[in-house]
Amino acid sequence: MGKPPVSRRDKSPLRKGGCPRRGRGVFQKKPSTTAFGGGPPPFSREAFVPLYKTEETAPKWDVCIHLMEMRAQCALFCCSIGTVLFAGFNVGAAALGGPPKCNISPGFGPPRGGGPYSRSPDKVRVRALALHIGLDKSAQGGIMVCTGVMTSVQIMLCKEEIHMKEFLKRKNIVISAKRYGIDALGAMAQGLFCSLLIGTILNTIGSQFHIGFLTAQILKINDVGYTIGGLCSFMSGSAMAVAIGYALQAPPMVLFSLVTVGYACNVLGGAGGPLAVLFVAIIAAEFGKAVSKETKVDILVTPIVTILVGIGAAWVIAPPIGKAASAFGTLIMRATVLQPFLMGILVSVLVGIALTLPISSAAICSVLGLTGLAGGAAVAGCCAQMVGFAVMSFKENRWGGLVSQGIGTSMLQMPNIVKNPRIWIPPTLASAVTGPIATCLFKLEMNGAPINSGMGTCGFCGQLGVWTGWLDPSAKALENGAAAIVPGAMDWAGLILISFVLPAVLSYVFCEVCRKTGWIKEGDLTLPQ
């Protein structure tokens, strides 16, 4: 009789010299006892090479290491599963009176009938590793089966991941902290400035200087009259949502649909409206970008998906955020019942932080009716943040940054705070100093409209609120026991020092200390363009 044909598998480097598909072969040889007893450790080069007879026929060691990293982690699990499966299969076959019809041969050759993994190099190496660590045949079979299944799943998941990455790249959907925490946040601050803050400034200027066209009600909505400034504030949610969509590079249909989403979210969010708009607008914009231009009726599908997803997200997300913002305000109110020193620190620091964060400090103070000493401490904290950031960043932003932050909003620095939170230390420390000085030394009270307590130097609304509170306290201040006074030199000195001088000096000094320690570096305070 002639020699039996030798398969391609039998000629592989791992079976140098050839061997039958079943029976004797290098993979049927039990590992040396020296690899498990007093000899080298089992997962070592010295213990692994003898399985392949010679150094030349052994696979590369880095392949073995990769194999052990990928497969050995699930060896125990696979062994247990394999043992149970094979034992149950054999018992069931014996009960039926026939031999087990297993697709893996006793010698662990390729499965009968071939298949995609019949000659898989990974399965060959896994089998060698299973023999090396001394597993019985049923456990080896379990590992072989599980390895094939795992490989199939890995391939499918890898393909799906590749397709998903290609889709996201094609749709310009970039899930990153920079895109959401810097670009979107910076744009939202600009949208808030162009709506709510500008509207408040126009209303304050019109009422204080009796400018007719600024105080006139130009239209009514649900029997509520709105001035020019009132309309600006009314549309703040829409402005912020559109600004966020612009930063995310949303297509026109998505961008225009965000007007409705932003308005609804801002109303549902209450005092936390701006923060709710940030999250909801991002979600709605990304979903809208995902479906944009994917259908022949894009003019219908894109706005419908954007609006429905946005409104649904606002319905779920905005109210809890609003409640959290109100709870933050409750904390401020509780701080006001403490002794003036501690109250001044807490209120100044907390309201100042709220001013810079993407939540409405003005709305919080308005909802809480923050007047009197607490209102004065709030004004101090807001001024410390706005004037502090304006002076600190003068090197980077020059006069434009000084004006936009000093009489605009410190929220413009929020993207930089995300990148380096340490830049927040100087103005926060300044607010902790000016707050108790305002409450304990100067007895500074803000008895104007409560919204002015959370405005700081934005359009000089905080200072105008203190001034009007001296001459004509608001209704809320009168409820809290305020009375009109004639301001003296001490009152004016306290207002100027707390609002402008002390925040500028203290923030600059604290910032220089942080620069020398390396916490703040050149360019950390540069406003995004």
Within 174-244, strands assigned E span 219-221, 224-226
The label of the residue with tokens 């390895």 reads: 147
Q: Are residues 31 and 161 in the same domain?
A: yes
Q: Are residues 163 and 33 in the same domain?
A: yes
Q: How many domains does the chain have?
A: 3
The label of the residue with tokens 């003898």 reads: 50
Q: Are residues 349 and 250 in the same domain?
A: no
The domain of 439 spans 337-529
Q: For 493-527, what is each residue's pLDDT tens digit?
A: 999 999 999 999 999 999 999 999 999 998 899 98
Instruction: Indicate whether 11 belongs to any domain.
Output: no
Within 51-174, residue ranges assigned H as helices are: 61-71, 75-95, 121-132, 137-170
Q: Are residues 372 and 462 in the same domain?
A: yes
Instruction: Indicate whether 4 belongs to any domain.
Output: no
Instruction: Indicate whether 331 belongs to any domain.
Output: no
To the nearest 5 percent, what fractions of the chain are helix, strand and coil?
70, 0, 25
Could you tell me if 223 and 276 are in contact, meaning their C-beta atoms sit under 8 angstroms apart? no
Strand partners, 225: 220
> How much is the pLDDT for 327?
78
Q: For 213-227, what is each residue's pLDDT tens digit?
A: 888 888 888 888 889
Among the candidates 133, 168, 203, a domain finishes at 168
Q: Are residues 263 and 193 in the same domain?
A: yes
Q: Are residues 220 and 276 in the same domain?
A: yes
Instruction: Indicate whether 362 belongs to any domain.
Output: yes
The label of the residue with tokens 């790249």 reads: 169
- Give the sign of the dihedral formed by CA 263, CA 267, CA 271, CA 275: negative
Q: Are residues 478 and 347 in the same domain?
A: yes
Structure token digits, residue 458: 């934005």
Q: For 377-412, what is each residue's pLDDT tens digit?
A: 999 999 999 999 999 999 999 898 899 899 888 888
Among the candidates 168, 196, 228, a domain finishes at 168
pLDDT above 80 (res 191)? yes
Q: For 63-108, what is each residue's pLDDT tens digit?
A: 554 445 455 445 445 544 554 454 454 544 444 444 444 443 333 3
Among the candidates 297, 324, 351, a domain finishes at 324
Instruction: Indicate whether 385 belongs to any domain.
Output: yes
